[in-house]
């Protein structure tokens, strides 16, 4: 599998590794998805975790102070949080300054710019340390053209945020490669970019250029080549639907895989907004996606069953597959269900 991007951002993404993952004051696992993504897909780049006393989430990696991490070879502290608005909380700043003083650079995928925080800017200049923001789109992105491109594309979409679109895309790319398929993973969010070493942070792109950015991310390719594009947000999310639509139109997917977490009742960070149903999500994505690719189809459903026991998870996926008439699988659990999902994607 090639985990790369068509956008030349190598210089901007020459990140100091390995990382100490900073969890801030996170109390919801969904907001720590950057840390979990690095742990699960790039464990060789992580030496441990570092958090405020009020944090209640953990990656399970060794708990280290910045000085201890530096002694173990860490070169930077990576902000492993993806909170609403991408803000750096004032309570985090003393801990981040401590990391700079321990000899670590700071890598951030937040919307907030590290150099615009006076305490961090002053400490970094005094200590000769780097402040690295990953969530910068490349310059000169075009508006979308809607032109049909060669090659094949798969996009992961969701009923909500932070429920497995990145994991599903990475797992499918790996499975395609194991079958000898020419495939690239295309990263569209900060965590995917940190894993892949390149990509476009779609939620940092000005809305007029969202579709053009997605076209740039997944360019013309050989007829049998697959790009597996990491999805973002949800078309039915009150806050983040715009980025989802631009990515859907611009990536022109031939195949959709819908990602869902059974049992989640409210959309992440949106009290009072129920998670939409799978059928509604499929219908809306197919309707809007057909605008730029009339041949679009849904190949199946990816479930995040990390909160369920194995027997319960498999029983639920089997019953939902029968009800929906599509493969339903958890890509992390794998097995025959996931193999059927891969089969249907490639059909």
The DSSP output letter for 10 is: T
pLDDT on residue 14: 67
Q: How confident is the model at residue 13 (pLDDT cuts 50, 70, 90)?
A: low
pLDDT higher than threshold 60 for residue 7: no
pLDDT on residue 30: 79
Backbone angles phi, psi at 152, to 5 degrees: -120, 150
Backbone angles phi, psi at 259, to 5 degrees: -105, 140
pLDDT on residue 240: 92
pLDDT higher than threshold 50 for residue 37: yes
pLDDT higher than threshold 50 for residue 328: yes
pLDDT higher than threshold 80 for residue 3: no
∠ Cα 168 173 176 (to 5°): 120
pTM: 0.84
pLDDT on residue 6: 38
Measured torsion, CA atoms of residues 125, 130, 135, 139, in degrees rounded to the nearest 10: 80
pLDDT on residue 86: 79
pLDDT on residue 247: 97
pLDDT on residue 2: 42
Over range 315-324, report the average pLDDT. 98
pLDDT on residue 87: 85
pLDDT higher than threshold 80 for residue 263: yes
pLDDT higher than threshold 80 for residue 208: yes
pLDDT higher than threshold 70 for residue 117: yes
Q: What is the pLDDT of residues 138-151, one digit of tens each?
A: 889 999 999 999 99
Q: How confident is the model at residue 136 (pLDDT cuts 50, 70, 90)?
A: confident
Closest by CA position to 223, among listed 246, 249, 254, 196? 254
pLDDT higher than threshold 80 for residue 191: yes
Q: Find all residues with CB under 8 Å of 77, minimum gap 6, and list them.
A: 19, 20, 21, 22, 50, 66, 69, 96, 99, 104, 105, 106, 107
Count CA atoms closer than 13 A to 298's CA, side-chain side: 25
Count CA atoms closer than 13 A to 107's CA, side-chain side: 29
∠ Cα 36 235 164 (to 5°): 20
Q: Directed axis angle between helix 335-346 and helix 165-178, to 10°?
A: 80
pLDDT higher than threshold 60 for residue 76: yes
Closest by CA position to 34, among listed 223, 209, 161, 121? 161
Over range 77-92, report the average pLDDT. 88
Complete DSSP assignment for 258-317: EEE-TT--B-TT-TT-BPPPHHHHHHHHHHHHTTT-TT-EEEEEEE--TTS-HHHHHHHH
Q: Find all residues with CB under 8 Å of 107, minimum gap 6, and list them.
A: 15, 16, 19, 76, 77, 78, 79, 132, 134, 194
**CB contact at 8 A, 30 and 237:** no
Q: How confident is the model at residue 29 (pLDDT cuts 50, 70, 90)?
A: confident
pLDDT higher than threshold 60 for residue 4: no
Closest by CA position to 249, among listed 96, 97, 145? 145
Helices (H) and strands (E) in the chain, counts: 11, 12
Provide the token pair at 192. 């995917």
Task: Walk me through the domains of the chain, giving residue ranges and CATH numbers.
Answer: 8-133 (3.40.50.720), 152-346 (3.40.50.300)
pLDDT on residue 85: 73
Provide the token pair at 197. 């070493």
């Amino acid at each position: 599998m090639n985990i790369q991007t068509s956008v030349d951002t190598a210089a901007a993404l020459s990140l100091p590794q390995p990382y100490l993952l900073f969890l801030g004051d996170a109390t919801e696992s969904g907001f720590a998805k950057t840390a979990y993504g690095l742990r699960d897909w790039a464990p060789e780049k992580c030496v441990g975790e570092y958090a405020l006393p009020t944090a209640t989430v953990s990656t399970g990696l060794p708990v280290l102070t910045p000085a201890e991490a530096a002694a173990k070879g860490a070169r930077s502290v990576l902000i492993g949080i993806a909170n609403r608005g991408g803000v750096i909380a004032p309570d985090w700043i003393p801990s981040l300054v401590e990391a700079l003083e321990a000899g670590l650079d700071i890598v951030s995928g937040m919307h907030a710019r590290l150099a615009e925080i006076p305490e961090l800017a002053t400490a970094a200049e005094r200590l000769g340390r780097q402040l690295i923001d990953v969530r910068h789109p490349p310059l000169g992105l075009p508006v979308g053209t809607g032109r049909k491109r060669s090659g094949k594309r798969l996009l992961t979409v969701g009923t909500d945020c932070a429920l497995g679109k990145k994991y599903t895309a990475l797992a499918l790319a790996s499975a395609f490669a194991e079958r000898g398929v020419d495939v690239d993973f295309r990263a569209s969010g900060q965590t995917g970019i940190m894993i892949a070493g390149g990509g476009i942070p779609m939620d940092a792109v000005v809305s007029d250029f969202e579709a053009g950015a997605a076209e740039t991310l997944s360019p013309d390719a050989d007829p049998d080549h697959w790009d597996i594009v990491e999805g973002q947000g949800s078309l039915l999310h009150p806050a983040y639907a715009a980025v989802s639509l631009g990515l859907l139109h611009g990536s022109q997917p031939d195949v959709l895989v819908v990602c869902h977490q059974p049992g989640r009742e409210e959309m992440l960070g949106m009290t009072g907004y129920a998670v939409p149903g799978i059928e509604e999500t499929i219908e809306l994505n197919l309707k809007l996606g057909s605008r730029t690719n009339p041949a679009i189809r849904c190949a199946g459903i990816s479930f995040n069953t990390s909160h369920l026991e194995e027997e319960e998870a498999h029983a639920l996926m089997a019953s939902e597959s029968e009800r929906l008439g599509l493969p339903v699988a958890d890509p992390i659990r794998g097995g025959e269900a996931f193999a059927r999902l891969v089969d249907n994607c490639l059909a």
